[in-house]
């Protein structure tokens, strides 16, 4: 089957898949296992979820990551991966409601929560918090909005559009952030509050970010992605 067909089948028939099948599909698609579980409508076990963390620290970490260029993002990802797992696994997250006629908002919310993102912690991508809340509430999901969300999640616009049932069309502009930013946030999934503090300092060291004297929502973005291929995290 084509990738789009696999994703649609996972979305609509995923409850019939067992865990080994989902792990195999996740590897085939280059997705985290936790994401495959969310798309398929399965519970997500605690060991695949972020530990309980301070949301303000998470927000500060995310902000600092957005100032890193591609070599710095790669170095920061390695810095995070080299850390020891120290956090206690949270409780498993229940599966989404199988009776929901539009599963995409719950799936999008699950993908965000797999990385420890609430609406406030999600990096600024040119969308207002009310717009993101609207997407999570099922009010809308235009292609341009999916493109904006995709990079920090480590997903492609095309894959999110498949899940949302949104037709693909040319866009006049690219996203602020690519999947390399999302790869850093995936590497940070097991990290504790204290580890995120250290990683935020490392991000500042790498980027040599200048303090502007007040909190700014984001850097100017990372448009020059050297690849268009999403790699397995």
State the pLDDT at residue 175: 87
CA 74/CA 180 separation, integer angstroms: 8
- Cβ pair 177, 66 in contact under 8 A: yes
pLDDT in tens, 58-93: 999 999 999 999 999 999 999 999 999 998 999 999
Question: CB atoms < 10 A from the CB of 2, how many?
Answer: 8
State the pLDDT at residue 217: 54
- pLDDT classification of 230: cutoffs 50, 70, 90: very low
State the pLDDT at residue 225: 80
State the pLDDT at residue 65: 94
228, pLDDT greater than 60:
no
State the pLDDT at residue 219: 61
229, pLDDT greater than 50:
no
Tokens of 158: 């095309």
pLDDT in tens, 5-39: 999 999 999 999 999 999 999 999 999 999 999 99
Average pLDDT of span 148-169: 96
Residue-wise over 30-49: b if at least 16 C-beta within 10 A, else e?
Answer: bbbbbbbbbbbbbebbeebb
Tell me the C-alpha to C-alpha distance, in Å, between residue 227 and each of 61, 139, 191: 25, 32, 27
Residue 221 zone, left/alpha/beta (φ > 0; ψ -120 to 50; rest): left
Q: How many CA atoms lie within 13 A of 117 on its CB side?
A: 24
State the pLDDT at residue 139: 86
Report the percent of the chain where pLDDT is more than 90.
82
- pLDDT classification of 226: cutoffs 50, 70, 90: confident
pLDDT in tens, 181-191: 999 999 999 99
pTM > 0.85: yes
- Cβ pair 128, 120 in contact under 8 A: no
């Amino acid at each position: 089957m084509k990738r789009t067909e696999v994703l649609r089948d996972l979305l609509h028939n995923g409850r019939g898949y067992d865990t080994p099948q989902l792990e195999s599909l996740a590897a085939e698609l280059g997705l985290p296992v936790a994401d495959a579980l969310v798309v398929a409508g399965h519970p997500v076990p605690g060991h695949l979820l972020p530990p309980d963390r301070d949301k303000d620290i998470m927000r500060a970490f995310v902000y600092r990551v957005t100032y890193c260029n591609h070599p710095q993002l790669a170095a920061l990802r390695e810095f995070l991966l080299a850390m020891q797992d120290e956090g206690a696994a949270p409780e498993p997250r229940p599966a989404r409601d199988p009776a929901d006629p539009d599963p995409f908002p719950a799936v999008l919310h699950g993908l965000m929560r797999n990385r420890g993102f609430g609406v406030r912690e999600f990096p600024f991508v040119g969308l207002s918090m009310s717009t993101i809340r609207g997407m999570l509430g099922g009010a809308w999901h235009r292609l341009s909005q999916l493109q904006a969300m995709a990079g920090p999640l480590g997903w492609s616009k095309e894959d999110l559009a498949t899940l949302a049932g949104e037709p693909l069309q040319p866009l006049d502009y690219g996203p602020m952030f690519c999947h390399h930013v999302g790869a850093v946030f995936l590497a940070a999934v097991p990290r504790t509050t204290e580890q995120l503090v250290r990683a935020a300092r490392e991000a500042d060291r790498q980027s040599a970010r200048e303090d502007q004297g007040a909190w700014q929502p984001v850097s100017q973005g990372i448009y020059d992605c050297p690849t268009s291929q999403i790699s397995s995290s």
